Structure formats: structure tokens, C-alpha cells
Amino acid sequence: MACHCHDSHCSINQHKTIEEKKELIQNILRLSIGAILLAVGFTLAHFDNSYGDISWSYFSDAKFYSSLGFIAFILYAIAYLFLLVDLIKNCITETREGSVINEYTLMSIATIGAFAINEYPEAILVVLFNIIGEMLEDYATKKSSASIKNLVNDMPLYAHYIDQDNKIVEKSPEELEIDDIIEIKPGEKVPVDCQLISGHTSLDLSSINGESLPKDIYENDLIYSGAINLTSSIKAKVIKKYKDSTLTKIMRLVEDEESKKARSEKFITRFAKYYTPIVVLIAALVFLIGYGVNGFVWEGELGGQTWLYRSLSLLLISCPCALVISVPIAFFSSIGRASKLGILVKGSLAIENLRKSETFAFDKTGTLTKGTFALKNDVDPKYLQIAASLESKSTHPISKAIISANKEALLEVSNFLNRPGYGIQGNIDGITYYIGNKKLMSMNNINDIKEENTPFLTLYLSSDKDGYLASFIVADEIKTSAKEALKALKSEGVKQTILLSGDDAKIADAVGSELSIDIIRGNLLPEDKLNEIKRLNASKQLSYVGDGINDSPSLLASDVGIAMGALGSDAAIEAADVVIMNDDLMKLAEAKRFSKRTMFTVYTGVIFALVIKILFMILVSIGALGDFSMIAGVLSDTGVMAICILYAMCLLFYKPKYIKTQNKY
């Protein structure tokens, strides 16, 4: 929306931006300080031949305290404690919110274990990699969101208030009072619900209720806020304050759904719920069983000290470096690659949920259809030429469909007359022609018209000489890629498609049937759509595709809201999780396929890391690696991490199946 939105909403967004910048600065500082201390400590430790590999036993040696090794230890400890504070704070926050075992718990336990067996760089690296991973994913998400903001229509919502001196004063909609008189010019949004008192025009209501055909309005007719005035300037009387108007009610629905939409757990959080207790339990059991089998003797080759070392080595091996960095990199690569394909994704959760979606629900107007009108039936070129010549004198949006279909030169029209609500008439070569609805025909005693069996708008052409001549069926044009896109979605695992439209039920049925959509619902108000989405969402994973203001609550209520960006309203784009930038419906199938590929990469990377870790954990537990346990632990973590990172970055080279890569947008 333009910044004539609620002041509170704007201030919330500003506050959110400030908080995000503050968090970014804090993360950069933490990363920089931690990395510098680690680098200096690591360098000093490896310059000290006597105390380079720092061990707890060195603390009983007085010489250790004057060595480079001790300085290195101090730097390691400062870096670790500095990073651990924020890690523990996050862990406590997640615990208070109900997630007792989370990724921060996992990292805290793993790093403490690493520190306990003198693997200080490893302990610090786990936290540093986590910060890098979060920053990469945040960067990808924010970059996508910035691109989305560039799409926002921002059609200004303001009012031309007519004061007592008949002067026009620009006002914010919130300032208008009931009975104020306003002027609404062509191309402008209606700011508040009002009643027409002067003039005649057509309104585009598609973003409010999904109605594809423009609505002609006359004196005393009601006008809803958010509608777009199409043809001529009008004067209207305010009948509802801004806070009670139709557009505000829809935006309130959006805010309600935004506050209700639970933040799904990130993949790594869900993973940590199972992984953390398992590795801690295994480490504890290895220590207790080994210690117990050997009679609870602490000293000796297989005493408690050895088994404690082994159990701590298990915690080191279980360090989630490979996971906390490779998983965010996979999503970072995925979001970045998708944006180059013209698919903007707001974060990893959208990718996860899109992969799981087996039901896709669609709005009709502007989503499956172009939002522009075309002639659907074949008409004799002679009559099409006459109709186009008459319509060329009209400003009504429907006239463009007939003019576009005509291939002949326009004829000269005289005595042109516009009959609002009925049609138009004019004289061509001495003959008076009429084109309009059945009422216009009846007014001119044309009763032999051939009625068409169609739910779409039908115009009739007749003349005072020959009576009825031809019929013109005009309808919102279905997008050329719609049928192929829906078929492609089915091939990517979508089991059910649903059409939810505010348009006339018969028109919705006709469009849905032509596209072979499984379930079709018409005549739906925004609240009806929202309730239908909630009902469907209760039993299945659902993605909803829409473009109008009226779609915004449904986009938020669904598991994945997908907005058709190039023509979509600002509210729909902001409410969506995914934005298709150029309205190419084939990108829906590409997004679905890409989400599957991304999650496959994430899962296989995690499985690979776990298999290697489990293998080394078994070898350490049975003592097969002896004194090389710690080295094996480091290799099983840093080595696996490098492989997982490279594997995750393969998503940057994803090759699309349904769209051409040379067309970025």
C-alpha cells in the first residue's frame, strides 16, 4: 500500500527494519570478533612447540602460564564465552516459547563437549558457522523481499475532497467524514465507501470481489473502496468512514491472518528435536556402560577417564557444523537461483511448504485469466467491422475486445449516441446500428435476436433496416499457458486443483471446466474464500495462487501464498510467500519442481553427514580409533561440512524444465 496506510502499520514496519539492521550489525560484530580471536589464538598455539595442542593437564605446569599456548587458550576462552552468551540467550528464548530442544540446545551441548576435550577451535567454529548460515539465509530472504517491494503497485490511495467553496483539497482517506463530497478521477482507486451523486462511469472491481467484468454505475449507486474508476470523473458522497470501509475490512482480515499464521519451525529446529537427545543419550550411555562394565574404576586403560574421553569425543563428532552451515546455504542457493528465474521466495519455510503442497487453489481473474477481454465467438467480418466502428467511439473497456478482433478499416460513424447501461448506437452509410444488451434491442423493437447459450457477456448488433444481425460473446481471456501449467503441476505431484472465484458461478464453471480444474467454486466474497481456504487447510497442505486485494487474506491463511506479481495488487504481493514476477503460470510448476529439488538436496546432505558421523561414532565407541578419536572427530565434522557445502551450492546451477532461462523475468 502507499504510505496512506495506517500510521501504526507504517511505524511497525519501520521498527521491524530498525530491528533487522540492529541484528545484522550485532551478527557482523560477533562474527568479526569471534573470527579474529580464533585466528590469533590458533596462530599463537601453533607457534608454541611445547604447549601447542593445549590439554587440561598443562594447567598443573607453572611454565604453561607464561607460554604462547596459554595466551592462545585465553583468546579461545574469550571468543567462546563471547559467542556462547548469545547462543544461551537464544536457547532460553526458544525454551520459553515452548521449544525445549532446539538447534541452539544442540549447538550448546556439542560445543561444550568440544571445549571439554580441548577442541577449542571446533567449539568456536560451530557457533561462527551458525552465524554465517543464518546471515546467508537472511540475506537471500531479504534480497527476495526487496525485489518483491519493487513490484508493489503503490497506486496512491487519497481523496479529492470538495470543500464548501467548491475547491478540491487532497486529503488522506482517514480524514474524511460521512457526507463529505469527493471527486474520483479515471484511473484512481476509490478511497472510501461512498454513493455516486454526479456522473456515470465503469468500475473495475476485480481486486475487491474477483468480478471480471467492469461494473457500470449511475447516480445513487454504492461504490466500494478499493475499486478503480475506469472511464470518467465522478462525484460521490462518503457513506462510511475509512476504518469501516470495504478495503479496510479486507486489510483487517489480512492483519488478522498475519497475526494468526504460526511461524512454522525451521528444518534445523525440527531436526534438533530428535538429533540432540539421541546423541546426548548415546554419549551418556557410552560413558556409563563402559565405566560400569569396568567396575566404576576411574584410572587405567579402560577406566572412567577413558570412557569420558570417548563420550566427549562422540559429542565432538556429533557437532552440527555441517548441518548449521550447509542447510542454510542450500536455501540461500535455492532462493538466489529462483530469483534469477523470476520466482521470488520469502524464506526457507515457503520452499519446505511448497514441496509438501499437493493441493493448489486458484483465483480466476488476473490469475488464470488475463484480466482483459476478448471476443470468443466467430462473427461475420462485415458485422465485426460495423461493430468495431461503433465501439471505437466508446470508452467502455468491453469495446476493446471487439476493436481488437476487427481486421478491417473502421467505417465513419455519425450521430453517435451512448446509452449508459444499455449500449451504443450510430449511423453508418445512412443506416442506424445498435450494439448492446437485450434491453437496448427491445427499446428499438428488435425482438428477433438469437440468444447465445453462454454464461459470458453477450452483445447484440442490429439495425433499423435489417433488424438483428449478429451476436458478440465477450469474456475475460484465459492465459495461454494456463492449461499447460496446470498439467505440469499435476506431473510434479499436485493431486488436486481448485478454483475459488468471486466471479459469477456460471462463468467460474465455464473457465474451470475448460482448464479441467477438479473443484470449482464461484460467487465467493473475500470472507468466503478465506473460510474455504481454512476448511481445506485443516485436512491438506495447500498452496493458494491469487493476485487481487481480495486474495490477500487467503494468501496468508494458506500454507504457501503465491502472488502473480506483474499485475498483482500491492496487498497480494506483500501477503504472499512466493511471487511469480511476470505472471507466467509455467513458473508455478517450476517453483514446485525447484522446491522438491531443494528439499532433496537438504535431506540427502543431512543423511550423508549423519551416516559418516554414525560410522565414526561407532568406531570411537568401540575404541577402534584409539588416540586418533579426536582427529577422527574433527575430520568427520569439518571434512563432511566441506562436502555438504559444495553439494548444497549445486542448487545455484539448477536447470529449469518448464521455463526458458534466457528470460530472466
Structure-block grid coordinates of residue 109: 551441548
The DSSP H or E segment spanning 527 is helix 526-537
Could you give the CA distance from residue 255 to residue 262 in angstroms, rounded to a whole number? 13
Could you give the CA distance from residue 633 to residue 206 in angstroms, rounded to a whole number? 61
- Tell me if 587 sits within 8 A of 343, measured CB to CB: yes
- Tell me if 581 sits within 8 A of 151, measured CB to CB: yes
Could you give the CA distance from residue 81 to residue 64 in angstroms, rounded to a whole number? 21
- Tell me if 42 sits within 8 A of 121, measured CB to CB: yes
Provide the Cα torsion 549, 554, 557, 561; round to 10°. -80
The DSSP H or E segment spanning 468 is strand 467-478
363 as an active site residue: the answer is yes
Q: What angle do CA 533, 147, 349 make, to 5 degrees?
A: 45
If DSSP codes are grouped into helix, strand and coil, which group holds residue 426? strand
**Per annotation, catalytic residue among 193, 363, 559, 583:** 363
The DSSP H or E segment spanning 111 is helix 103-116
The DSSP H or E segment spanning 434 is strand 431-436
Question: Mutual orientation of helices 586-621 and 304-317 as an angle, nearest 10°?
Answer: 170
- Tell me if 343 sits within 8 A of 590, measured CB to CB: yes
Q: What angle do CA 265, 528, 421 make, to 5 degrees?
A: 140
Q: How would DSSP label each residue in 597-611?
A: HHHHHHHHHHHHHHH
Number of Cβ atoms within 10 Å of the Cβ of 535: 9
The DSSP H or E segment spanning 267 is helix 267-293
Structure-block grid coordinates of residue 262: 504460526
Structure-block grid coordinates of residue 139: 540475506
- Tell me if 508 sits within 8 A of 520, measured CB to CB: yes
Provide the Cα torsion 550, 401, 391, 547; round to 10°. 20
Number of Cβ atoms within 10 Å of the Cβ of 582: 15
Could you give the CA distance from residue 557 to residue 527 in angstroms, rounded to a whole number? 11
Q: What angle do CA 153, 155, 156 make, to 5 degrees?
A: 140
If DSSP codes are grouped into helix, strand and coil, which group holds residue 547? coil
Could you give the CA distance from residue 472 to residue 457 in angstroms, rounded to a whole number? 8
560-564, strands of its sheet edge to edge: 343-345, 578-580, 560-564, 542-546, 359-362, 496-500, 519-521
Q: Is the C-alpha dihedral spanning 24, 30, 33, 37 positive or negative?
A: negative
- Tell me if 111 sits within 8 A of 86, measured CB to CB: no
Beta strands in 113-220 (DSSP E): 159-162, 168-171, 181-184, 194-198, 201-204, 215-217
Identify residue 26 by its one-letter amino acid code. Q
C-alpha distances out from residue 46 to 42, 64, 635, Å: 6, 14, 19
Catalytic residues, which ones? 363
